[in-house]
C-alpha cells in the first residue's frame, strides 16, 4: 500500500500521533509535515491521511491553506481519512473539531472517506497526549489499512 500521512503540529503532539499512524501501516508510507507536502504528490496514492491540531474548532491556518490548494477532483479514487488532536473538555465540542472539517474537504476534492474522522486527546494546550493515545492512533490506522488491503 502506498500511503501518505500529512500533519501540522504546533507543540509536537499531532506529530507524534501522525508518526504512530504512519508506523502502523505496512507498505510504502511517508509521514510529512504540511509545509513539505506537495499537492502534486497525492495522485498516485492508495491512502491519504491528514491530521491537524484543533485550534478554535478548526484545522491550523497552514493546514486549511494546504487543503484549499488541492485541485478539485484530484483525490478521485484515493481512500482518505482525517484526524485531529483536541482537548478532553466537554466544552470544546461547542466549537467543533478539525477532523470533521478536514474530512469534508478531502471528500469535496473527490476522496473516498474510509473511516469516521477521529480525535486524539491532549491533556493541555501543549500536551502531553492522554495516556494510551499513541497506541489508539496506531490501532485506528491498522484498522483502516487492513480494511483496504
Ligand atoms: C490557539 C489555540 C486554540 C485551540 N482551540 C481548541 C479548540 O477549539 N478545541 C480543542 O479541542 N482544542 C483546542 N486547542 C488545543 C489544541 O488542540 C492542542 O494545543 C493541540 O492538540 C496540541 O497539538 P500540537 O502539539 O500538535 O500543536 C487549541 C490550542 C490553541 C493553541
Average pLDDT over residues 5-15: 98
Share of the chain above pLDDT 90, in %: 91
Q: What was the pLDDT predicted at 107?
A: 98
Ligand 1 within 6 A of 9 CB? yes
| pLDDT given at position 92 | 84
Residue 28 has pLDDT above 90, yes or no: yes
Nearest alpha carbon to residue 10 among 68, 80, 61, 46: 61
Query: Which ligand 1 atom is nearest residue 84's CA?
Result: 21
Q: Which domains does the chain have, with CATH numbers?
A: 2-147 (3.40.50.360)
- For a mutational test of ligand 1's pocket, the pick from 58, 83, 87, i.e. the residue with the most ligand atoms closer than 8 A to its C-beta, is 87
Give the pLDDT score at 70.
96
pLDDT score recorded for residue 43: 85
Ligand 1 centroid vs 148 CA: distance in angstroms?
31
Tell me how far the alpha carbon of residue 87 lies from the centroid of ligand 1, in angstroms.
Answer: 7
Helices 133-147/13-24 angle, 10° precision = 40
> What residue has cell string 477521529?
118
**Quick count: other Cβ atoms within 10 Å of Cβ 46?**
17
The candidate with the shortest Cα–Cα distance to 138, out of 116, 118, 112, is 118
Q: pLDDT at position 14, please?
A: 99
pLDDT classification of 91: cutoffs 50, 70, 90: confident
pLDDT the model gives residue 90: 84
Whether 41 has a pLDDT exceeding 90, the answer reads: no
Q: Give the nearest ligand 1 atom to 125 CA.
A: 19
Residue 3, classified by CB atoms within 10 Å of its CB into exposed (0-12), middle (13-18) or buried (19+), is buried
How high is the pLDDT of residue 80?
98
pLDDT at 63: 98
Amino acid at each position: 500500500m502506498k500511503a501518505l500521512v500529512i500533519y501540522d503540529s504546533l507543540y509536537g503532539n499531532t506529530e507524534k500521533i501522525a508518526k504512530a499512524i504512519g508506523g502502523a501501516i505496512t507498505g510504502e508510507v511517508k509521514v510529512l509535515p504540511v509545509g513539505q507536502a506537495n499537492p502534486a504528490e497525492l495522485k498516485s496514492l492508495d491512502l491519504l491521511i491528514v491530521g491537524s491540531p484543533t485550534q478554535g474548532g478548526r484545522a491550523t491556518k497552514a493546514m486549511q491553506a494546504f487543503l484549499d490548494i488541492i485541485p478539485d477532483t484530484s483525490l478521485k479514487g484515493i481512500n482518505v481519512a482525517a484526524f485531529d488532536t483536541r482537548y478532553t473538555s466537554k466544552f470544546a465540542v461547542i466549537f467543533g473539531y478539525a477532523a470533521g472539517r478536514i474530512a469534508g474537504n478531502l471528500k469535496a476534492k473527490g476522496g473516498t472517506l474510509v473511516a469516521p474522522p477521529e480525535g486524539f486527546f491532549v491533556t493541555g494546550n501543549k500536551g502531553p497526549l492522554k495516556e494510551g493515545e499513541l497506541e489508539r492512533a496506531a490501532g485506528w490506522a491498522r484498522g483502516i489499512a487492513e480494511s483496504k488491503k
